[in-house]
Structure 1
Amino acid sequence: MDPDHADPDYAGHLHHVELCTADLAASVDFWGWFLDEFGYERKNEWNSGRSWSNGPTYIVVKEAGNSDHPFDRLASGLNHLEFHAESREQVNKLTTDIRERADSRVLYEDQHPYAGDYYALYCEVPEGIKIEIVGPNE
């Protein structure tokens, strides 16, 4: 067992997230691009999955064992993931990039970028997962 797998300095922080997919190639394409925008680096690669890390946190995308149950963010379970942006400019750049991608879409276009009470991008990515990218107040 890796003695550095847990770090008490990050107690209470998110360690990792695993996302299951029915289309590994499409998910790796999206998440690889997206996570690169936030400084994540490729961590591991194997036949049925990939992972990226940023500091003590990592994100895994792996093939679903049972793809008969598609993801539904409005059902019980995960609703969305939210990421901090370094600036409003980064939110704007990612909004433009999402609009140009065929595998994702901006949500709540008529309210963007204030669909919530803060400056953010709300988007739906491959397989229906919703992500938010929140910018600083000013």
Structure 2
Amino acid sequence: MTKLSHLDLNVSDYRKSLLFYDLILLNLGWTRTVCRTTYTNYTDGTMKICICPTEEKYISAGLHRKRTGLNHLAFYASSKKEVDRFHKDVLVKNGISCLYENGPSGDDDYYAVFFEDPDRIKLEVVYAPRYCDPNDWTNQFESDYDPYA
């Protein structure tokens, strides 16, 4: 079985982003393992997220999740209750606005809250216990494209 090893994020305001990701990731049970002037690593024990300051010459291009590149990061929660707790104790308490709704939404199959980091990278905390199960409704759509045709 292959697992995701790590994800690198370049950020425009390194200090602001580290304070934000400490708030988000540490409240989701992650650990900050290294914090240097050139990068900071977080881990949940199975993968890492590396936050790096963007070089000055690249900052002006900006980021938009609809452009080519990263759209969003989603972090698993163990229950709907954990999503609700995260929303109340982390997002609301720290004045971090939700996207799309005023809080978590969904059902027993997919329950999530969406928000943005300081560079507007969309983040999600989601309870989706069967998300990777081939029989989950999200995996039942009929394919309509063959890249080999």
TM-score in same-fold range (> 0.5): yes
Any idea what the Cα deviations from partners look like across 1:21-80, whole Å, max 9, x if unmatched? 110111001111111122211111111321111213111111012211111111111100
The reply on whether 1:40 has 2:30 as its aligned counterpart is yes
State TM-score, norm by structure 2: 0.75
> Over residues 108-134 of structure 1, what are the superposed CA-to-partner deviations in whole Å (9 max), with x where a residue is unaligned?
11684129x721111122110111111
Per the alignment, residue 72 of structure 1 pairs with 64
* Equivalenced residues, count: 125
Matches within 5 A, 1:85-124: 85-96=77-88, 97-102=90-95, 104-109=96-101, 112-114=104-106, 118-124=110-116
CA contact (8 A) 1:105 1:125 kept: no
CA distance in 2, matches of 1:39, 1:64: 26
Counterpart for residue 62 of structure 1: 52
Q: Secondary structure at the match of 2:4?
A: coil
Cα gap change, 1:127/1:44 in structure 2, threshold over 3 Å: closer, same or farther?
A: same
**What is the DSSP-based 3-state SS (H/G/I as helix, E as strand, rest coil) of the residue aligned with 2:43?**
strand
Q: Aligned partner of 2:112: which letter?
A: A
Q: Which residue of 1 aligns with 2:76?
A: 84
What is the distance in 2 between the residues matched to 1:61 and 1:48? 9
Matched residue, 2:146 = none
Please report the TM-score for the alignment, with normalisation by the length of structure 1: 0.80
Gaps of 5+ in 2: 130-149
| Preserved CA contact (<8 Å) 2:87 2:104 | no
Q: What are the ranges of 5 or more consecutive residues in structure 1 without an aligned counterpart?
A: 1-10
Pair 1:17-2:7 in alignment: yes
Q: Which residue matches 1:127?
A: 119
Give the secondary structure class of the aligned counterpart of 1:12: coil
Q: Which has the larger Rg?
A: 2
- Cα distance in 1 for partners of 2:53, 2:13 equals 7
Runs of 4+, deviation exceeding 4 Å: none
1:26 maps to 2:19: no
**SS of residue paired to 1:34:** helix
- The answer to whether the Cα contact below 8 Å between 1:24 and 1:48 also exists between their aligned partners in 2 is no
User: Residues of 2 paired with 1:111 and 1:38: CA distance?
Assistant: 17
